[in-house]
Amino acid sequence: MSEQRSTKKRIVSGMRPTGSLHLGNYEGALKNWVKLQDSGEYECYFFIADLHALTSDYADTSALKQNTIDMTADWLAAGLDPERSTIFIQSAVPQHSELHLILSAVTPLGWLERVPTYKEQRENITEKDIGNYAFLGYPVLQAADIIMYKGNYVPVGKDQAAHVELTREIARRFNNFFGDVFPEPQALHTEVLVLPGTDGRKMSKSYGNAIYLADAEDVIREKARMMITDRTRIKRTDPGHPENCDVCQMHRFFTSPETADSFDDDCRGARIGCVDRKRVLADAIIERYGAIASRSRELRSNPDQVVDVLLKGSNRARIEAEKTMAQVRKAIKIDWV
């Protein structure tokens, strides 16, 4: 194998295995990963952060494997390509755990206690106990994930900004002690996008208001049918108020502005009913995501194939990770093996 590293910049990003992705996850994150991969400008590493899931959901890990498979099926269906990107499972590259421990030695406790997501979650999460050691170290593990591959760019949502910043600080501190091993990565923030859910709140798995990328047509139609429209429009002949209607607002997201404007006009003029608009909304969603949905369902019916992709990707990632770890062990002068 050549020791030469490609001159391309490296992209590293991961998602916790929460299972099926909804349309908001796709529009806000996955679509951007696919775009970065397709640009051909980067070497991409995308992984399932299952050890990160363990830091908060350690009490019940029974869904982890299935969630990993479902999420990977969505990734592949959406266009992540194992020929062009290294797609892997964090835990299948044990070097992440090793680097996490080494970085934890150079990370001051105060840095971790000040991370805004940590403080926020300690205050707000009551349904599970996150007073454990690993949860505080969550950003240290994330730093290990990123600098393991000497990542240059980290495509993440704005909520992850503090974690990437901390990664830079940890890399800098390591380099100060042990010599220049790691480049400092930069966040590539995706534009903030809030997709409405079927109940008008932000689309979120935990609100139970999400439409999933892999949802079948009849499921999408049923979800659209259950949505709330303009509450003041009682009869079909009443004029509607599209600005107060979840269905109209959501339809606007999934179609062109011209089409949405023209439907809004018809709604105001009572020329179209809410049931019809729901049907058009469902059609628009199916048209836009139908191909991804059927590919994802096909992959799910073939889990061995999905696992095979992940294990092959993990083998590749492990080779890169081991190169970095050899340098790290040497740098810290703990290099017996």
- List interacting residues with ligand TRP (CB under 6 A): 12-16, 49, 52, 142, 145-146, 154, 156, 160, 163
CA distance 40 to 9: 10
Q: What are phi and psi of 188, to 5 degrees?
A: -115, 100
**Tokens matching residue 122:** 């300690």
By the 8 A CB rule, do 249 and 198 touch?
no
Q: For residues 100 and 295, which CB has a smaller minimum distance to ligand TRP in the complex?
A: 100
Q: For residues 190 and 198, which CB has a smaller minimum distance to ligand TRP in the complex?
A: 190
> Min. distance of Cβ 195 from ligand TRP in angstroms?
17
> Min. distance of Cβ 173 from ligand TRP in angstroms?
18
Q: For residues 52 and 278, which CB has a smaller minimum distance to ligand TRP in the complex?
A: 52
Residue 30 DSSP code: I
> Min. distance of Cβ 63 from ligand TRP in angstroms?
17
> Min. distance of Cβ 183 from ligand TRP in angstroms?
15
3-class SS of residue 113: helix
> Min. distance of Cβ 116 from ligand TRP in angstroms?
13
Q: For residues 30 and 77, which CB has a smaller minimum distance to ligand TRP in the complex?
A: 30
> Min. distance of Cβ 100 from ligand TRP in angstroms?
11
Residue 4 DSSP code: P
3-class SS of residue 58: coil
By the 8 A CB rule, do 233 and 239 touch?
yes
Q: For residues 160 and 296, which CB has a smaller minimum distance to ligand TRP in the complex?
A: 160
Q: For residues 192 and 337, which CB has a smaller minimum distance to ligand TRP in the complex?
A: 192
CA distance 275 to 298: 31
C-alpha distance from residue 42 to each of 78, 100, 135, 155 (Å): 18, 25, 31, 12
Cα 135-137-143 angle, rounded to 5 deg: 130
What H or E segment, with its residue span, contains residue 275? helix 274-300
> Min. distance of Cβ 185 from ligand TRP in angstroms?
9
CA distance 52 to 58: 10
By the 8 A CB rule, do 98 and 325 touch?
yes
Q: For residues 12 and 267, which CB has a smaller minimum distance to ligand TRP in the complex?
A: 12
By the 8 A CB rule, do 316 and 306 touch?
no
Q: For residues 107 and 229, which CB has a smaller minimum distance to ligand TRP in the complex?
A: 107
> Min. distance of Cβ 263 from ligand TRP in angstroms?
35
Burial 289-317 (b: 16+ CB within 10 A, else e): beebbebbeebbeebeebeebbeebbeeb
